Amino acid sequence: MNLAAILGGLLIETGELACGLSLARRWKPKTGAEAMIGEEAEVVSPCRPLGEVRVRGELWRARCEEGADVGETVRIERLEGLTLVVRRARS
C-alpha cells in the first residue's frame, strides 16, 4: 500500500516537472535594454537631438532627430550603445 502511494506521487511529480519545463521553453523572458524597443517614454530633458527620457522609472540618454520637448511622449525605435533612438509617438 505504501509503495503504491510513493510510486503514484513520483508519477505525478514527474508529470508536473515535464509540463513546467515545456512552459519554460516557450516563454522567453523579456529583460534588458532590447526589451524596451517599441515602448513609450516621457521626455524629461529636451531632445534636440540629444536629451533624456524616462522609461520604467529609469533615466536614459536619448536621441530624437525630429526633436521633442519636455513632457512629450516618444517611442523607442532602437538602441545605439547606451543611447535610445526615439521618435515622437503618434496619437
Helix (H) or strand (E) holding 54: strand 50-55
- Mean pLDDT value across residues 34-47: 91
pTM of the model: 0.65
Q: State the Cα–Cα distance between residues 54 and 16, nearest whole angstrom.
A: 41
Mean pLDDT across 46-63: 94
How high is the pLDDT of residue 32? 73
Mean of pLDDT values over 6-10: 90
**35 pLDDT above the threshold of 90:** no
Q: CA-CA distance, 74 to 90, in Å (whole number)?
A: 8
Q: Which residues of 53-74 are buried (b: 16+ CB within 10 A; e: fewer)?
A: bebeeeebebbbeeebeeebeb
Segment 52-60 shows an average pLDDT of 94
Question: What's the whole-number mean pLDDT along residues 42-51?
Answer: 95
What domains sit in the chain, N to C, each tagged with a CATH number?
33-88 (2.40.50.140)
